[in-house]
Amino acid sequence: MQKEDIVLYSLEDLKEYFVSIGEKAFRAKQVYEWLHVKLADSFDEMTNISDQLKDKLNERFLIERLTVARVFTSRIDGTQKYLLRLRDGNVVESVLMKYHHGNSVCISTQVGCRMGCRFCASTLDGLVRNLTASEMLKEVYTIQKSTNERVSNIVLMGSGEPMDNFDNVILFLNKITDENGLHISQRNITISTCGLVDNMKRFADLGFQVTLALSLHASDDETRKELMPIAKRYTIEQELEACRYYFEKTKRRITFEYSLVAGVNDNIAEAKKLAERIKGMNCHVNLIPVNPIKERNYRKSSSASIAEFKKYLEKTGINVTIRREMGSDIQGACGQLRKSFIEGET
- Active site residue ranges: 93, 334
- Decide: 295 and 38 in contact? Cβ < 8 Å: no
CB of 22 to ligand SAH, least distance (A): 46
CB of 118 to ligand SAH, least distance (A): 9
| 257 near ligand SAH, judged by CB under 6 A | yes
- Residues 135-164, mask of contacts with ligand SAH (x by CB under 6 A): ----------------------x---x---
Rank residues 178 and 229 by Cβ distance to ligand SAH and give the closer one: 229
* Nearest one of 339, 338, 333, 342 to 120, comparing CA atoms: 333
- Decide: 309 and 287 in contact? Cβ < 8 Å: yes
CB of 293 to ligand SAH, least distance (A): 5
- Decide: 35 and 21 in contact? Cβ < 8 Å: no
**Binding region for ligand SAH (CB under 6 A) out of 88-96, 126-134, 197-205, 283-291:** 283-291
- Decide: 192 and 156 in contact? Cβ < 8 Å: yes
Q: How many CA atoms lie within 13 A of 100 on its CB side?
A: 0
| Residues constituting the chain | 346
| 326 near ligand SAH, judged by CB under 6 A | no
Which residues ranging from 167 to 226 are in contact with ligand SAH (CB under 6 A)? 192-194, 215
Selected from 80, 144, 190, 259, the binder of ligand SAH by CB under 6 A is 259
- Phi and psi at residue 218, to the nearest 5°: -165, 160
Selected from 40, 91, 271, 293, the binder of ligand SAH by CB under 6 A is 293
| 133 near ligand SAH, judged by CB under 6 A | no
- Decide: 322 and 110 in contact? Cβ < 8 Å: no
CA distance 296 to 175: 38
| 334 near ligand SAH, judged by CB under 6 A | yes
CA distance 145 to 128: 27
Exposed, middle or buried by CB within 10 Å (0-12, 13-18, 19+), for 96?
A: buried
Rank residues 3 and 263 by Cβ distance to ligand SAH and give the closer one: 263
Selected from 28, 143, 182, 333, the binder of ligand SAH by CB under 6 A is 333
- Decide: 187 and 210 in contact? Cβ < 8 Å: yes
Question: Binding residues for ligand SAH, how many (CB under 6 A)?
Answer: 17
Rank residues 14 and 91 by Cβ distance to ligand SAH and give the closer one: 91
CA distance 131 to 174: 16
Contact footprint for ligand SAH (CB under 6 A): 117, 119-120, 157, 161, 192-194, 215, 257, 259, 288, 290-291, 293, 333-334
